[in-house]
Structure 1
Amino acid sequence: METQKKILVLCGGKFAFPALNILAFEKFICGIGIGKGNKTIVDALEKEAVEHNLGFRSFKDKNSMDGMQVWINSIQPDYIFCISFPFLLPESVLAYGKHRFINFHPGPLPQYRGPMPIFEVLKNMESETAICTHFMNDAFDEGNIIFNDPVPIEEGDTFGKLTIRLSKHTANVALNMANMLQFASIIPNQPQDETLSSYYGNPVLSDTYINWNRMTAEEIMALVNACNPWNVGADATLQGEQVKIIEASIIDEAHDSQLGTIVSFDGRIKIACRDNQQLAVNILSTDYGIMTATQYIMLHPEKKDIPN
């Protein structure tokens, strides 16, 4: 009977939990490393690791990565899985073994390299995304691809909804990968096509801000979903006030209002968009806090006379 492969998992938090659970249940895991985790998550993982006699290490920042090489050598895993691990692994660590480090990227490669592909695919109104399994090298998301496992994007998906679904899907992909490594002597892989590659950095305000004059209602709605909940909605200026739009829908109704202004209110704040469409806002965040459209209007008496 072939000896069970030992897998060390480097992760970044809750996204990896379903994968950790299923790999532990199947007795593949020999150690867990977490980067940038908050204290609650770190303590929970450490407790589980101690109870199951697994190696554990928390890497709070890039400086703490200096001890990773020695730690991995002490555990002697057959493979290292990375699931949303936030730090680039240095060459000294990767020298542990070629094709021993495998990353599970929550977006298709090479088209969506970078730390937040879930935000980008939603913002760009893609119909599907993927979990890309690839060998790792000394550059983010550039190693040889083992496979892209497609995942459809459903209507109404927000960043939060899609993240949860991809997290669960990653667990199945990771288990399939572990089983493949258990029985296959060679893992087929291919270099990434650099002519298709795009890298997206962490989103900044210009990426999350609604431009009423340039963006269609569909593009605005996609941005709202892509920003919910991690950015507490899409940033916007609404009649001179800075707000974040959290939940909304599109109404295909003609208007003659200036783009980005309130057209009417019927329990929803209807905002003028391009192509004779309107954005019906239900929930938004303001300096007063997160509130419904009705609460927002009540706090702005000057807007109460807007026709419905």
Structure 2
Amino acid sequence: MSTIRDIVILCNNRMAFPAIQTLHSLGRLHSIGVPVENEDVKAFCAVFASDTGINLIIIEKSKLKFQLQEITAIKDLKFIFTMTFPWKIPEELIRQHPNLFYNFHYGLLPEMRGADPVFQSIKKQKNETGISVHAIEKEIDKGKIILRKTLPLHTDFTHGMLCTHLSYLASYILPEVLTLLHRNDEGMHQDETVAEYYKKPTIADVSIQWEHQDSKSIQALVNACNPWNKGAYTHWNGLNVRIVEVSQTDTLSADQHAPGTILEINENKGLIIQCYNNTQLRINTVYTDEGFMSGHKLLAFGIKNGEQFATL
């Protein structure tokens, strides 16, 4: 297999970093493209490019087509991989350069199309997730799948933890992807009968619905919002609270309480809240404008047993 530096990665998230390092170690990485607005990713890639001699391209949305045209003119260019890249590849370029653009989708296709499959996979309590490498076509996330690798999804995984696992999975499968592409494997069409598309999460999507969600559903939502949203939203008496980390509890009350009711709040037992369908959660960590803190420290705001969190 060729060792010419003939691959460009377009990325917008730390999830691409292990793959960037692996492609460089394989002698295949030519350039990295990063959106101009992403200071954190630009900073990492700038240091990496300086240390390795890899070319760094700062991409502007208004100049996307022109800059991609320049990239496609790179001598001996074989592939352009997008990894969390936020903008669509212009259809004209896809037509002009068949078998050049491939996307690493950090979720299972076609069931998890959309902006944040990591969030949706955790929130929906899926048993597995994974990476789908597919050809880029006009329609988002609809190209032929070159390789699909699954990963067990543990109930304790946060969004950040799963991103890390998937980033290393992408790095691990790169040699297999390159082998398949070297063999001109065209991949498999996606099954549209099981396809689902999810838009970017809204405020409603990241807010706890006490009246409808049991403890396991709330735990999944909280994990799906940690750390990128600093937890899942709830509300008490004018105070906006984000629940960051929870655990299941066997605490039971002989009395009936409305979902969202505080059953216990003290230093010894922590913060225990009633959820839908007579389930309960221990709230271990919360976030407010005053900072991150243990759940029971909401006592300082005047919260007491019997009071109730509300849905935003």
Provide TM-score, normalisation by structure 1: 0.90
1:100 positional shift: 1.6
1:42 is matched with: 42
Q: Distance in 2 between matches of 1:120 and 1:305?
A: 32
SS in 2 for 1:75: coil
Aligned with 2:272 (options 260, 270, 273): 270
Partner deviation per Cα, 1:141-193 (whole Å, 9 max, x = no partner): 111111210011123101011111111111112232123334x2x21412111
Matched AA of 1:68: Q
SS in 2 for 1:94: helix
Partner deviation per Cα, 1:257-292 (whole Å, 9 max, x = no partner): 221010112431111112222111111112332211
Q: Distance in 2 between matches of 1:98 and 1:305?
A: 63
Alignment of 1:84-103 (within 5 A): 84-103=84-103
Within the alignment, does 1:242 sit opposite 2:240 as a pair? Answer: yes
Q: Do 2:146 and 2:180's aligned partners in 1 also have CA atoms closer than 8 Å? A: no
1:70 is matched with: 69
Q: Do 2:264 and 2:305's aligned partners in 1 also have CA atoms closer than 8 Å? A: no
In structure 1, list runs of 5 or more residues that go unmatched.
none
1:74 positional shift: 3.2
1:215 is matched with: 213
Matched AA of 2:74: I
Q: Distance in 2 between matches of 1:146 and 1:16?
A: 18
CA RMSD of aligned residues (A): 2.2
1:21 is matched with: 21
Provide TM-score, normalisation by structure 2: 0.89
Kindly tell me: are residues 96 and 68 of structure 1, through their superposed partners in 2, closer, same or farther at Cα, counting changes over 3 Å? farther
Q: Distance in 2 between matches of 1:39 and 1:210?
A: 31
Q: Distance in 1 between matches of 2:86 and 2:131?
A: 17
1:2 positional shift: 5.3
SS in 1 for 2:20: helix
Matched AA of 2:274: A
Partner deviation per Cα, 1:77-107 (whole Å, 9 max, x = no partner): 1111111111100023323421221111000
Kindly tell me: are residues 261 and 69 of structure 1, through their superposed partners in 2, closer, same or farther at Cα, counting changes over 3 Å? same
Q: Do 1:113 and 1:199's aligned partners in 2 also have CA atoms closer than 8 Å? A: yes
Partner deviation per Cα, 1:198-244 (whole Å, 9 max, x = no partner): 11111001101111111111111110111011110011124663211
1:304 positional shift: 7.2
In structure 2, list runs of 5 or more residues that go unmatched.
308-312
1:4 positional shift: 4.0
Q: Do 1:35 and 1:87's aligned partners in 2 also have CA atoms closer than 8 Å? A: no
Kindly tell me: are residues 303 and 275 of structure 1, through their superposed partners in 2, closer, same or farther at Cα, counting changes over 3 Å? same
2:257 is matched with: 257
Q: Distance in 2 between matches of 1:305 and 1:224?
A: 22
SS in 1 for 2:277: coil
SS in 2 for 1:281: strand
Alignment of 1:1-308 (within 5 A): 4=4, 6-35=6-35, 38-60=38-60, 62-76=61-75, 77-182=77-182, 184=183, 186-238=184-236, 241-255=239-253, 256-267=256-267, 268-300=270-302, 303=304
Q: Do 1:297 and 1:304's aligned partners in 2 also have CA atoms closer than 8 Å? A: no
Kindly tell me: are residues 73 and 277 of structure 1, through their superposed partners in 2, closer, same or farther at Cα, counting changes over 3 Å? closer
1:47 positional shift: 4.4
Q: Do 1:84 and 1:104's aligned partners in 2 also have CA atoms closer than 8 Å? A: yes
Q: Do 2:155 and 2:220's aligned partners in 1 also have CA atoms closer than 8 Å? A: no
Matched AA of 2:297: Q
Q: Do 1:238 and 1:260's aligned partners in 2 also have CA atoms closer than 8 Å? A: no
